[in-house]
């Protein structure tokens, strides 16, 4: 606990790891946007903190950042990219802080400069507008980013577990052998995408499913 330095002189337990001063949420948003800020207690335990973005491991100060209401800080681009990869039908609670699994969306009853700044930022992208219950906007579509191939996907992977693949019937069996056409195909259901993988081995064994006229070759 301590007093922050801004005119509000608030009693606060938040501490800027970078400048080593007490900060309230007002000074935090105004003057420490790219600083690691946690509780003073946290500072005592972890004074040799990591100043990098947890998502790309590049120093936070190099790019635009966003602070979640848990005070964890990320590059906006990194956070945005990750969240945008979640399935469209992900519930708002499914969007979680990659560090502590706290909510990305500020709780509705939470006021304060950090929550306000975050809401403002979230309102600029559609995945977040959907979660905030806002009407969607025309996003500036940037070129498709390369999918992240990092190994620390643990916090997010659970949300993808139930996702359904989006390609269905993409590999059509136009060149299927004739006997395939006699098999009635079940109608494609959207919930269970079919994956007809036709493997035509061309091995020495003749196909025995249809009358291929090969039996006559086996004269005694
Ligand atoms: Zn202050
Ligand atoms: Zn600072
Ligand atoms: Zn980053
Ligand atoms: Zn967090």
Same-domain pairing of 27 and 56: no
Q: Is residue 99 part of a domain?
A: yes
As a whole number, mean pLDDT of residues 132-153 equals 69
Of 87, 111, 135, the domain-final residue: 135
Q: Is residue 27 part of a domain?
A: yes
Tell me what pLDDT residue 15 has.
96
pLDDT mean across residues, the chain: 79
Residue 154 has pLDDT above 80, yes or no: no
Q: Is residue 157 part of a domain?
A: no
Question: Which numbered ligand comes closest to the C-alpha of 65?
Answer: 3
CA 6 / ligand 3 centre spacing (Å): 29
Query: What percent of the chain is modeled with pLDDT above 90?
Result: 55
Residue written as token pair 């003057």: 31
Question: Which numbered ligand comes closest to the C-alpha of 37?
Answer: 2
Could you list which residues have their CB under 5 Å from ion ligand 3?
53, 55-56, 75, 78
Report pTM.
0.63
Tell me what pLDDT residue 199 has.
59
CA 16 / ligand 2 centre spacing (Å): 5
Tell me what pLDDT residue 33 has.
95
Task: Specify which residues 59 forms β-bridges with.
Answer: 52
Question: Which numbered ligand comes closest to the C-alpha of 72?
Answer: 4
As a whole number, mean pLDDT of residues 114-118 equals 97
96 phi/psi in degrees, rounded to 5: -125, 155
Q: Is residue 148 part of a domain?
A: no
Residue 49 has pLDDT above 70, yes or no: yes
Q: Is residue 20 part of a domain?
A: yes
What pLDDT band is residue 188 in, cutting at 50, 70 and 90?
low
Chain-centroid distance of CA 116 in Å reads: 22
Q: Is residue 84 part of a domain?
A: yes
Same-domain pairing of 67 and 125: yes
Residue 167 has pLDDT above 90, yes or no: no
Question: In angstroms, what CA-CA distances link 189 with 87, 163, 168, 176, 183?
Answer: 19, 15, 9, 21, 17
CA 118 / ligand 1 centre spacing (Å): 18
Tell me what pLDDT residue 59 has.
96
Domain hosting 113: range is 52-135
Same-domain pairing of 17 and 35: yes
Of 106, 135, 164, the domain-final residue: 135
Q: How far apart are CA 152 and CA 171, in angstroms?
A: 32
Q: Is residue 150 part of a domain?
A: no
Q: Is residue 217 part of a domain?
A: no
Tell me what pLDDT residue 144 has.
59
Q: What token pair was written down for 154?
A: 């643990």
Give 2-11 contacts, CB < 8 A, sequence gap 24+: 2/40, 6/30, 6/31
CA 33 / ligand 2 centre spacing (Å): 7
Residue 67 has pLDDT above 80, yes or no: yes
Q: Interior CA angle at 16 toward 10 and 17, to 5°?
A: 155
Same-domain pairing of 66 and 130: yes
Residue 87 has pLDDT above 50, yes or no: yes
Same-domain pairing of 74 and 127: yes
Q: How far apart are CA 211 and CA 182, in angstroms?
A: 13
Query: Which one has a higher pLDDT value, 92 or 168?
Result: 92
Of 79, 113, 135, the domain-final residue: 135
Same-domain pairing of 32 and 57: no
Residue written as token pair 């939470």: 110
Tell me what pLDDT residue 48 has.
83
Same-domain pairing of 71 and 13: no
Q: Tell me how many domains the chain contains.
A: 2
Could you list which residues have their CB under 5 Å from ion ligand 4?
70, 72, 97, 99-100, 102
CA 73 / ligand 4 centre spacing (Å): 8
């Amino acid at each position: 606990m301590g007093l922050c330095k801004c005119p509000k002189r608030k009693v606060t337990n938040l501490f800027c790891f970078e400048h080593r001063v007490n900060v309230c949420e007002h000074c935090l948003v105004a003057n420490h946007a790219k600083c690691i800020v946690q509780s003073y207690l946290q500072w005592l335990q972890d004074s040799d903190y990591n100043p990098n973005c947890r998502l790309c491991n590049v120093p936070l100060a190099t790019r635009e950042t966003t602070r979640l209401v848990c005070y964890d800080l990320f590059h906006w681009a990194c956070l945005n990219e990750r969240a945008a990869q979640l399935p469209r039908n992900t519930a708002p609670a499914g969007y979680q802080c990659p560090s502590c699994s706290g909510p990305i969306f500020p709780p509705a009853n939470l006021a304060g400069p950090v929550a306000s700044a975050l809401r403002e930022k979230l309102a600029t992208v559609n995945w977040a507008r959907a979660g905030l219950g806002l009407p969607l906007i025309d996003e500036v579509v940037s070129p498709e980013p390369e999918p992240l191939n990092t190994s620390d996907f643990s916090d997010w992977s659970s949300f993808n577990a139930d996702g359904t693949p989006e390609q269905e019937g993409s590999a059509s069996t136009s060149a299927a052998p004739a006997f395939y056409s006699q098999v009635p195909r079940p109608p494609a259901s959207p919930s269970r995408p079919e994956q007809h993988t036709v493997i035509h081995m061309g091995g020495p064994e003749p196909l025995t499913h249809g009358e291929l006229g090969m039996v006559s070759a086996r004269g005694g």
